[in-house]
Each structure stands twice: as structure tokens, then as C-alpha cells.
Amino acid sequence: MASDNQHHTITVVEYTDPDEAFTGWLVIDGGEHALCAGGMRVQPGLSRDHVIAMAQNMSRKMRICGLPIDGAKCGIDYHPNSPGKRQAMTRFMASIKPYIQDRYSMGPDLNTSMDELETIAHELGIPSVKMAIAKAQGMSMPAFLDRYALLGHKAIGTWTLGRLRAGFGVAMAALATLRAMSIPAHGARIAVQGFGNLAKAAIIALTDAGASITAISDAQKCVTSRNNHQALPVHLYLEHPGTLLPERNEGHNVHTEPKDAILSWECDLLILAAIEGVLSEDNAELVRAKAVIPGANLAITEKGEEALFERGVVALPSFVAGCGGSLSMNGLFGPDETPDPRQVLDYIARAMAEMVEKIISRSRADAITPTHAADMLCQESPAPTRQRPYSLR
């Protein structure tokens, strides 16, 4: 189904599963570009309207990054712990296979991983869930697959570029915000909500820059440093598989608290790397951080951001802090020659730093929220007109 509102097209493909009767959606926000991009999630209670909102947020990511790509999202209303998850994902992806082959560049989102998506794609005869990039870039499939394979190469320690890229972008947004606030990165106190891949990758990049992670929360608890200026032993936590922190006490300098304690932890930066709608007008007053970096999609509600702004707390828009994955694709496919993983990360760092500096400067100059500042910068910037979606020229 497609609807046109003031010349803007939103395409919604709705799927009803013949075996279990769950519903899924693919939403493409816009139709002016050859390529659209966004992740797939598996979430109980997922709705059509929410997938539309996420696709629109993806469009804002693409615009702020200067990429001529439409935003998209897809997902199924399904419990991720169900034994039928893999088969459910396979049936849904089979239903949208023509879009994946033609213009939809799919990535992982909540409760999905790239390995999972690619394995299912291969079973369906799809070379890659990102194969549409080849057509849009004018690349042969072998040339595309050769460059795409770079995501599996190590970039920091044992972490591959593919696992790092989104969380690395969140970390670079955090570091750029620290610079704008004249807070040295070395020793900066950072709290992280979430312990999935996004959060872990951000933690790796931030500790690599010398920041101190003093609190981390997962879906069950919050682990904090009793001495707020002493870093947690994150190197031990990162060895733990899954999205839950280990159930061990690393000594009397580590304390376990309820999971929501992360929101009121005193720190320089609070990173939200879990789910959407975490901060709202109802709990914004609890925040004791100087700035909030929402790596997760729509992690702060509009009224929540306004409440933080009134208190002098800087809060970046999620479509900025969460655009590391989009930037990485430009860093990977934009150059004429195949880059190495470090070059892709360096590109993400440069692009994110420039973006955040402009947004915070505009926010201060006009006394508006960073989200309003980012939207104004998008409106004032000419839409990219190049033929290839990814280019560094």
C-alpha cells in the first residue's frame, strides 16, 4: 500500500503469516531514491505505526548524513524467545524478497543480528540482505561482495568492523559532545544503558579513547562503581556472551543496583543503547548526566528532550547518535578504492564530529533543542543529487 501526502510517498507492505497469524511490515519512507535502507526487528507488540515512525527516523539519519537514500524499516510482531523465531523470520523475509533484491538494503535491529539475517538470506537464494547496494552503486555482484566482506575483518582487537560500526558511531557522537562541552575524553565518566552489541561496541571505542565507564545496566540490573571516579572492569564484562552482565562481584568497588538506577547516575554522559522511549517527561528530572547520547532509535521522547533542554542537559537526536551504521556504508562503498577497516572507522569519526559540532553550535546560537537544530540544518542543506548513493566526492 502506498500513500501520498503533499508529494511524499510512504510505502507500507503488510504481511500476515499463514502458519502463526502474526503480522509484519516493511515500510519505505519516500520513493525518490534508488536505494532505501534500515533494519529488521523482532518485537512482541510491534505495530504498523511504530514501523512507520522508525522508517521516518531512518530518513532523518540519511538526510543529516547527506546520503541520497530513503529511510526504511521492517519487522514482525513476534516474541524473540519463541522457538519458531527463525522460521518466522524466514517466511517474512521470503515475502519481501523482491524488495531486498531490488532496492531495500536491510540491516539488523532489535533482536536480530547480521549473521542471522545473512544466513536466512542465503537460504532464500539472496546473495546478501544488502545486495541492492550493488545495483544502486553500479557494481557487479562479485565486486560488491568482495568489498562487503570487509565488514568481517577485525577493526579493534577481536571486534570486526561489522560488529563495531554502529556502536563506534555512538561513541564518536559521545566524544564529539564532550569536546563541545570542553570535557576531556580521558577520564570522562560515562554511564551506559544496555549491554547488547550496540552498547558493547560503544564501550570498546570509548575506553579506547580513555573514557571511564562507571555504570552499566542491562535488562535486569545496574552495575556501578562505588567510587564514581573509578572505572568498572569492563574488559571482564565484555568477555561475557549475551546481553546480560555477568552475575559476579569484581570486588568491593563494584555495586549492584536496580536497572533504572542508570538514569540517575551522576556522570558526564549517559548513553542510551537499549530500547526506545526510555526517557520521557515523566522521568527526565532523574537524569544527573551533563549530556545524553541516544544510540537506540527514538530513545528519548520529544517532550523528554524538551524537559532535558530546560534543565540545561544536552541531548542529541537519536537519528544523529545512531547513524554510525549509515556512515559506515558511505565509508565502505564511497571510496573508489577498497578501504581498510581503520579507514572506515576514521571516516565515521570525522563525519560524526563535524555533524555534532554543527548541531550543538546551532542549538546554542538559536536556543533550541539539538533535534530542532538538526532538523533546521537538514532543511537548509540542499538535497544530494548524485547518482550513486554512496560517494566521498
The band of 1, judged by pLDDT with boundaries at 50, 70 and 90, is: very low
Residue 225 pairs in a beta bridge with: 254
- What is the total count of domains within the chain? 2
Same-domain status, 227 and 108: no
pLDDT in tens, 154-212: 999 999 999 999 999 999 999 999 999 999 999 999 999 999 999 999 999 999 999 99
Same-domain status, 178 and 112: no
Residue 357 lies in a domain: yes
Report d(CA 265, CA 263) in Å as an integer.
6
Averaged confidence pLDDT in the chain: 93
The band of 5, judged by pLDDT with boundaries at 50, 70 and 90, is: very low
Asked if residue 7 has pLDDT above 70, the reply is: no
Buried b (16+ CB within 10 A) or exposed e, 330-339: bbbbbbeeeb
The whole domain housing 341 covers 156-380
User: Which pLDDT score, from 0 to 100, does residue 4 have?
Assistant: 43
* Domain CATH number, residue 367: 3.40.50.720
User: Which pLDDT score, from 0 to 100, does residue 250 have?
Assistant: 58
Residues with Cβ within 8 Å of 258's Cβ and at least 6 positions away in sequence, in order, are: 221, 222
- Cell digits of residue 8: 511524499
Same-domain status, 14 and 53: yes
Same-domain status, 134 and 244: no
Residue at a domain's end among 138, 170, 198: 138
Residue 309 lies in a domain: yes
- Cell digits of residue 338: 577498497
The band of 240, judged by pLDDT with boundaries at 50, 70 and 90, is: confident
| Mean local confidence (pLDDT), 252-261 | 87
User: Which pLDDT score, from 0 to 100, does residue 150 have?
Assistant: 96
Same-domain status, 160 and 134: no
Residue at a domain's end among 138, 165, 200: 138
Residue at a domain's end among 138, 169, 197: 138
pLDDT in tens, 51-105: 999 999 999 999 999 999 999 999 999 999 999 999 999 999 999 999 999 999 9
Report d(CA 279, CA 195) in Å as an integer.
17
Same-domain status, 371 and 286: yes
User: Which pLDDT score, from 0 to 100, does residue 251 have?
Assistant: 61
pLDDT in tens, 221-233: 999 987 767 899 9
Residue 2 pairs in a beta bridge with: 11
Asked if residue 49 has pLDDT above 50, the reply is: yes
Residue 146 lies in a domain: no
Same-domain status, 172 and 58: no
50/381: higher pLDDT = 50
Same-domain status, 268 and 376: yes
Residue 204 lies in a domain: yes
Closest Cα partner for 28 from 62, 63, 72?
72
Same-domain status, 83 and 112: yes
Identify residue 4 by its one-letter amino acid code.
D
Residue 388 lies in a domain: no
Residue 391 lies in a domain: no
Same-domain status, 127 and 190: no
236/131: higher pLDDT = 131
State how beta strands 70-76 and 36-42 pair.
Answer: parallel
What φ, ψ does residue 188 adopt, rounded to 5°? Answer: -60, 135
243/104: higher pLDDT = 104
Same-domain status, 109 and 165: no
Q: Work out the end-to-end distance of the chain between its first and last CA atoms, rounded to an integer number of angstroms.
A: 36
Rg over alpha carbons for the chain, rounded to the nearest Å, is 20
pTM: 0.93
- Cell digits of residue 320: 544523529
Report d(CA 335, CA 325) in Å as an integer.
16
User: Which pLDDT score, from 0 to 100, does residue 249 have?
Assistant: 60
Asked if residue 3 has pLDDT above 80, the reply is: no
User: Which pLDDT score, from 0 to 100, does residue 199 have?
Assistant: 95
Residue 274 lies in a domain: yes
Residue 148 lies in a domain: no
The band of 248, judged by pLDDT with boundaries at 50, 70 and 90, is: low
Asked if residue 288 has pLDDT above 70, the reply is: yes
Q: Quick check: helix, strand or coil at residue 193?
A: strand
Same-domain status, 166 and 98: no
* Domain CATH number, residue 119: 3.40.50.10860
